[in-house]
């Protein structure tokens, strides 16, 4: 299905004024644990400085005290950064990290930076940091997750002013991933409520992507039925049918992708635009198609330095540089190449063929701020729980 297009706009998100329309959220840094696996992204040479210094003691005759002092000086030039991120950002950061490191070492040739990653459901990751995971930076996909870290005193209250574009380097949106040839004829959100459709979705209690999926479908319902969020009878009935079709609630978006592409469950996966393209090109090449719904949600991906951690470690400057680098032109181009919608409008416009203009809405414009969104929909006993038939 081809998305609606409107010429002459600089951004590929065509925002509809929702308020006007219907008035209506380890211990070891060297090896990082995720929900399903562990891995380390080590971007520096493992050449042993200690061996070289030991040899220097023998050759030059310098005393052990001097050698130890040299060891300490060199050790101080090694920086470890831990980026705690949401589930489906791992492929982007795998490529961004060496890009950042190459640029950083040009400016700081005597400093070696080791960047480690941790990935999982956004809310689960934020909770891990709140409970002690020593993240230098957090790169999440929901403002409410960042707000939790502000409440815990880990992230500065003015984090949105610390970086451009309210600390959101790129956005995404929700799309529908279907089987090749679209055998069930799925064209829009409304089709997901049909009796013959099996839906794969992450769990909104642990996954920010799943919350955006739920809110995307809910916002579509309000728009389609011309209802207000305060009196959504038809929308609630639609969402209840959609959720009754969910065959599994995975912990995170990547797990849901695996369920759909590898295990073969479901007729449709609700996921982010970038994850859908990745699945279509890598995980299930030739086996899936992407459907853009007629009206979808804007996903903001906020980033911040965990200053209480970086101040203790002495990594604040490097952590700031790491996040600032996300707005560099090479990084913005990399985002577009990986089907993320960069904040740089020129870069976005240059990729309009792969990132088409679509009709979207901002969640806060429809549902209120993220505190209200969480309280209305995702607390225990909230509207999601009321409408879902959890399996």
> pLDDT tens across 225-236, in order?
999 999 999 999
Rounded Cα gap, residues 139 and 168, in angstroms: 9
Question: Are the CB atoms for 319 and 305 separated by under 8 Å?
Answer: yes
Q: What is the mean pLDDT of residues 272-285?
A: 92
pLDDT above 80: residue 47: no
292 CB burial (10 A radius; 0-12, 13-18, 19+)? buried
pLDDT above 80: residue 332: yes
CATH number of the domain located at residue range(s) 13-25+172-300+343-387 in this protein: 3.40.190.10
* Pairing of β 246-250 and β 199-202: parallel
Could you tell me the two tokens for 201? Answer: 């979705």
The confidence band for 62, taking pLDDT boundaries of 50, 70 and 90, is: very low
Angle between helices 64-75 and 49-60 (to 10 degrees): 150
Q: Where exactly are the structural domains of the chain?
A: 13-25+172-300+343-387, 32-169+301-341
Q: What is the mean pLDDT of residues 35-47?
A: 35
pLDDT above 50: residue 258: yes
pLDDT above 60: residue 183: yes
Rounded Cα gap, residues 85 and 293, in angstroms: 27
Can 13-25+172-300+343-387 and 32-169+301-341 be said to share one CATH topology?
Answer: yes
The confidence band for 283, taking pLDDT boundaries of 50, 70 and 90, is: confident
**What are the phi and psi torsion angles at 33 (to 5°)?**
-90, 135
Report percent pLDDT > 90 for the chain.
Answer: 74
**What strands lie across the sheet with 112-120, from one edge to the other?**
112-120, 78-86, 137-139, 303-305
* Least confident residue range of 55-64, 97-106, 153-162: 55-64
pLDDT given for residue 121 in this prediction: 85
Rounded Cα gap, residues 71 and 174, in angstroms: 51
Rounded Cα gap, residues 100 and 55, in angstroms: 33
pLDDT above 80: residue 324: yes
The confidence band for 389, taking pLDDT boundaries of 50, 70 and 90, is: low
The confidence band for 52, taking pLDDT boundaries of 50, 70 and 90, is: very low
pLDDT above 60: residue 27: no
The residue that leads in pLDDT, 51 or 305, is 305
- Write down the pTM of the prediction: 0.78
For CA atoms 224, 225, 226, 231, the dihedral sign is negative
pLDDT given for residue 187 in this prediction: 98
Around Cβ 245, how many Cβ atoms within 10 Å? 20
Fold adopted by 32-169+301-341:
D-Maltodextrin-Binding Protein; domain 2 (3.40.190)
The confidence band for 70, taking pLDDT boundaries of 50, 70 and 90, is: very low
Question: Are the CB atoms for 167 and 156 separated by under 8 Å?
Answer: no
Could you tell me the two tokens for 113? Answer: 């930076």
pLDDT given for residue 12 in this prediction: 52
Report percent pLDDT > 70 for the chain.
Answer: 80
Among 119, 28, 122, 131, which Cα is nearest to 80's? 28
pLDDT given for residue 14 in this prediction: 53
pLDDT above 70: residue 129: yes
Mean pLDDT of the chain: 84
* Pairing of β 170-179 and β 268-272: antiparallel
pLDDT above 90: residue 155: yes
* Least confident residue range of 189-198, 283-292, 299-308: 283-292
CA distances from 181 to 73, 261, 267, 283, 287 (A): 61, 15, 12, 17, 8
């Amino acid at each position: 299905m081809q998305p609606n297009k409107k010429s002459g706009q600089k951004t590929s998100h065509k925002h509809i004024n929702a308020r006007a329309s219907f008035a209506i959220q380890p211990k070891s840094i060297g090896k990082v644990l995720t929900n399903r696996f562990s891995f380390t992204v080590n971007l520096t040479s493992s050449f042993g400085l200690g061996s070289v210094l030991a040899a220097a003691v023998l050759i030059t005759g310098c005393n052990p005290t001097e050698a130890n002092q040299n060891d300490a000086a060199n050790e101080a030039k090694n920086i470890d950064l831990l980026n705690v991120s949401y589930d489906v950002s791992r492929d982007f950061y795998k490529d961004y990290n060496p890009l950042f490191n190459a640029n950083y070492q040009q400016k700081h040739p005597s400093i070696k930076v080791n960047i480690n990653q941790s990935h999982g459901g956004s809310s689960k990751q934020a909770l891990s940091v709140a409970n002690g995971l020593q993240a230098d930076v957090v790169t999440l996909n929901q403002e409410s997750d960042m707000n939790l870290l502000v409440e815990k005193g880990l992230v500065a209250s003015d984090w949105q002013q610390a970086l451009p574009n309210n600390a959101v380097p790129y956005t995404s949106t929700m799309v529908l991933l279907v089987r090749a040839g679209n055998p069930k004829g799925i064209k829009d959100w409304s089709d997901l409520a049909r009796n013959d459709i099996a839906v794969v979705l992450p769990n909104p209690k642990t996954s920010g992507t799943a919350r955006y999926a739920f809110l995307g479908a809910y916002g579509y319902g309000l728009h389609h039925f011309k209802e207000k969020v305060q009196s959504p009878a038809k929308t609630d009935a639609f969402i209840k049918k959609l959720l009754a079709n969910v065959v599994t609630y995975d912990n995170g978006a990547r797990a849901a992708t695996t369920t759909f592409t590898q295990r073969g469950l479901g007729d449709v996966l609700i996921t982010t635009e970038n994850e859908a393209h990745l699945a279509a090109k890598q995980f299930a090449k030739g086996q899936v198609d992407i459907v853009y719904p007629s009206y979808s949600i804007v996903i903001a991906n906020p980033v911040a330095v965990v200053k209480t951690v970086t101040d203790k470690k002495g990594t604040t400057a490097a952590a700031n540089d790491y996040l600032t680098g996300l707005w560099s032109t090479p990084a913005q181009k990399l985002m577009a190449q990986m089907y993320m919608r960069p904040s740089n409008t020129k870069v976005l416009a240059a990729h309009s063929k792969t990132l088409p203009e679509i009709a979207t809405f901002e969640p806060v414009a429809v549902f209120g701020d993220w505190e209200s969104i969480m309280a209305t929909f995702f607390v225990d006993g909230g509207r999601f729980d009321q409408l879902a038939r959890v399996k």
